[in-house]
Every structure is written in structure tokens, then in C-alpha cells.
Chains A and B, each alone.
Chain A
Amino acid sequence: MYTEKVMDHFTNPRNVGEIENAKGIGEIGNAKCGDIMRIYLDVEDNIIKDIKFKTFGCGAAIATSSVTTEMVKGKTIEEALKLTNKAVAEELGGLPPAKMHCSNLAADALHKAIEDYMNKNAL
């Protein structure tokens, strides 16, 4: 039911963990629906220097979190803000229809982390 790329990101997730004194943290989801994603950002000169995630959720939730961190690492804040959940799913070669809604939230978590960074820095 999952593409090879989803399984690759699920079994070897990139950028798992936390960043100490992160410049921005974003969390989305809740335990009720079974998915919680948290993204940590380190930003320098408007560029995402480091990004880490922690996710409680199904295979799709973990894979979308992982690929999201890969897609925006080294990108500018403006570029990262343009990332959509749809683009994340496409990057993974698609997701099962049932997962598009409930587990494809990593871009939203990223945007929340960026928002947190901007608020903290009064940008």
C-alpha cells in the first residue's frame, strides 16, 4: 500500500531528534487521531541550517515528516513556507487516499515551526 520511497523514509527516517535551543518549534496533530508531529528548526541568515523531527504516528506520518525535513534543509524561510502537504506527498511518489487527510501534516508542522521562529524574532 505504500510506495518504496515511503517505506525507505519510514525504515530510515532522516533527521530524527530534537534541536537544543531550537530557533523555532512547531507541533501539529493530537493523540485522538493518532498523529502528532513536532518539528525543530535552527535558522541562520534566513536559511534553515538544521531541522529535526519527532513523530508519533503511522508509516505515512513518519515518512512525510522525514521527507519534509530533507526537502527544506538548506532552503530559505520563504522557500520553506511555500512547501505544501501535497508537494510532500508527491515527493514520496504518492500516499494511499486514506492517508492524504489524516497523516499528511508535516508541511503544516513545518509552517508552525517557522511561525514560532518569526514570532520569537519579531519578524
Chain B
Amino acid sequence: MRKVYLDHSATTPVRSEVAQVVTEYYTNIFGNPSSVHSFGREARKGIENAREQVANLINGKPEEIIFTSGGTEADNMAIIGSALANKNKGKHIITTAIEHHAVLDSCKYLEKEGFKVTYLPVDSEGMIDLETLKANITEETILITIMHVNNEVGTILPIKEVGAIAKERGILFHVDAVQSYGKLPIDVNEMNIDMLSASGHKIYGVKGVGCLYLRRGVKLHPIMFGGAQERKRRPGTENVPGIVGFGLASELAGQEMEMENQRLTVLRDKLITGILENIPCTQLNGHRTQRLPGNVNISFEFIEGESLLLMLDLKGIAASSGSACTSGSLDPSHVLMAMGLCHEIAHGSLRLTLGRDNTEEDIDYVLEVLPEIVERLRAMSPLYNNRDKHRNHREECSICTLRK
């Protein structure tokens, strides 16, 4: 059976160049980078080279890169660390309602510690309003933390504009760039970014490694304690193979970004158009143009996401959904709900995220099998036959769903 992996926003395969260098650093160059001997020095060289590769991709300085265990740790460090370090200046943080839980839960933690957090609403395409952001800034605001690209719907947020506002008001600006790092151009200086989180396994590196960009001079209260690694910002023996692989993956991503984005945009648009035109009662979630090249997120009315995923899986297609069953709670995705989707439409969402290994044949295959799967599930759905009743039901639905 044909296997089509369309879940690159969840994770990516490790590319062969990276796998090779990672293996080398597991076996031959295995030293502890803190050691004085040649084994340690060689490992150290690998890390420092990776630091340059990562810094180059975002126009930062190598000494501003702190390697972490991944995006979640970087988000926690940035948000909790900078809030605690600046709590004497104020205790107000601004974020959005559609952040990843690594950001939202860090903010929730700070709320328990006495901080106030504003969760900016988004419109039906997942976009924030800059005037609303400005209106919510107070004398107490010490941090703005906003994602670059939403992980579910792929909407690209106006980071550069937010950065300008933050700079003008003298507020720290953190960007969760886990879904954009290595995929979209980032310039921490041009965008006025003070802190930025990135992850290795989203860009064909290994799992368990990422980084925090921390602008020189920005104070961070440590959230981990131990050794002097990463200038005491992140104690613990470094994940040398992972870091070296992350560095190489970053460099290669930078080299290939433009070409790959052109290719992915064509495939993405073919997939979106193919689904919307051939399957009735479907809608695109997220922004039509301000959208990550590899992201497709579509809701199929009358059916539920998990059963759609299971059916696709039986055909060899790997995807994800924002339904309650896949969000790990009783409610569907907080992102889709914040965009004002009604529960039923949110439950029927399907996310297909494309990557390096996908071809046009993969897209054709999805477009070939998807209509019959949807039709099959709709034939089973009690919401499908009685269209009129359904329409009434949906009106109620759109009223009851709060636009946060």
C-alpha cells in the first residue's frame, strides 16, 4: 500500500545528512564538551559550530543561542524566566488565544504566581489585530509572547509589526517560532525579537533538541539549576549529537528554504483546491494567503475528525485533526474555537502538513481516496440526511460558541 506522510507539523523524518553526523557524534566524537581532553574539545567544537549555524539562520549572534531539549523548554524558559526576572517592573503579559500549550500553560502558571495575562482574540482566519494589541498594553506590561506560525491552521502572524510595537513601548518580545524556524525567513534584528523558540525535529533534525534565542542583555531568571553549561542558562550535559544535527538541519533548511517553499506552495494549493472543489460542505481553516507553505487545514461538515484519521490511516495516509478525541480533552482544538468555529465544524477538521518527501503523486493519491472516505462517513452520519434540521442546528451552534 502507498504510504503518504502528511503530518510534518507533528514531526519530520531525520534527513540522511543529519542522521550521518548525529551517528558520528554518538559513536566517535562522544566526549563531554565540558572535558579538557581532546574528546571533550572535539565535542565542544561541534556544539559551537552548530551555534553559529543556528544563529546565522535568524541573523542572531552565536552567543545569543541557548540549546535546550526542544521548543517546549525554550518557551518555558523564555516566558517564565523573563517574567520572573522582570516582575519588579510589572506583572502583565500579552499573548494570543491560539498559542501552543507550551506557551499557554507557562502563562497559566504565571497567573497562579500573581501575573496578569491578556489572551488576544483572533479573527476567523486566525489573525490578531494590532490595534487590539496596542490597546491592551499597560504600564505593567513586561512581555509580549506571540507565535510566528500557528501549528494547527498555519496562519502567519504579523511578527515584524508586533516587534515594532514592542520595541517602541520598551516591552520584551518573545516569539514561538517552532512552526516557522527553517521554513520562513526570520531576522531577529529586523523583527525586533528579544527571545525566540525553535525546535530541531520539525526541520528534519532529531527529537529532544531545540534552542532559545536570547538577545544580549535580556535578563532571564533560570528555571533549571546545576552546572555552568550554556552560560548557566541551561545547566546539564549538552545533547551533543542532537545539537550538531540541529545545526546542520538549520543550515540546510536555510539553503533550501526558497525553492522548497515554492514547491510546497504549489502542492498545498493543489491539495486545498482539489478538496474544496471536489468535496461539498468543506471549508478551509486559517488564512488563505498568509499561510505556511506546507499547511492545509480543512473542516468536513457532518463527520468527526478521528474517524476520518482512522480511515485515512487504513489507506496509508498520516494526518491529524483538531477534534476532541485528538486534542486530548472533551473540547475540540482551542485554536479552532478561538477562530469562532462551531463545535461540530471544529470536530470535523483535518490537518495535512506537507514536507520534503511529498510529491505531486502523493497529493493526487489523497485527492483520489479522500472523497470516498468522506462520503462513507457522511453516509453513517445522522447530521447528513436532514439538511434543513442541520442548518437550524448550526445557527444555534454559532451562537453558543463564544468568540473569545
> Can you spell out 11 A-B residue pairs with CB atoms less than 8 angstroms apart?
A11-B311, A11-B314, A33-B324, A36-B382, A55-B380, A57-B304, A58-B305, A58-B307, A59-B306, A61-B304, A61-B307
Pairwise interchain contact B307-A31, C-beta atoms closer than 8 A: no
Most buried by A among B304, B314, B347, B393: B304
A16 to B378, CA, bound (A): 11
Given A10-B307, A33-B330, A62-B307: A56 touches B343 (CB 8 Å cut-off): no
Q: Is B370 an interface residue (CB 8 A)?
A: no
B196 to chain A, nearest CB (A): 34
A-B interface, 8 closest residue pairs, ranked by CB to CB distance from nearest: A31-B344, A58-B306, A54-B382, A38-B382, A34-B347, A58-B325, A56-B381, A32-B343
Pairwise interchain contact B307-A34, C-beta atoms closer than 8 A: no
Name the residue on B nearest A30 (C-beta): B343
* Residues of B in contact with A (beta carbons under 8 Å apart): 302-307, 310-311, 314, 323-325, 328, 330, 332, 342-344, 347, 379-383, 385, 393, 397, 400
* Residues of A in contact with B (beta carbons under 8 Å apart): 2, 7, 10-11, 13, 16, 18, 27, 31-38, 54-59, 61-62, 98-99, 102-103
A104 to B383, CA, bound (A): 19
Pairwise interchain contact A31-B379, C-beta atoms closer than 8 A: no
A62 to B306, CA, bound (A): 11
Q: A34-B332, A54-B380 are in contact. List 16 more A-B contacts (CB 8 A).
A: A31-B393, A33-B330, A35-B304, A37-B382, A54-B381, A54-B385, A56-B380, A56-B382, A57-B307, A58-B304, A58-B307, A58-B323, A59-B310, A62-B380, A98-B328, A102-B325
Pairwise interchain contact A10-B347, C-beta atoms closer than 8 A: no
Pairwise interchain contact B310-A10, C-beta atoms closer than 8 A: yes
A7 to B382, CA, bound (A): 21
Pairwise interchain contact A59-B330, C-beta atoms closer than 8 A: no
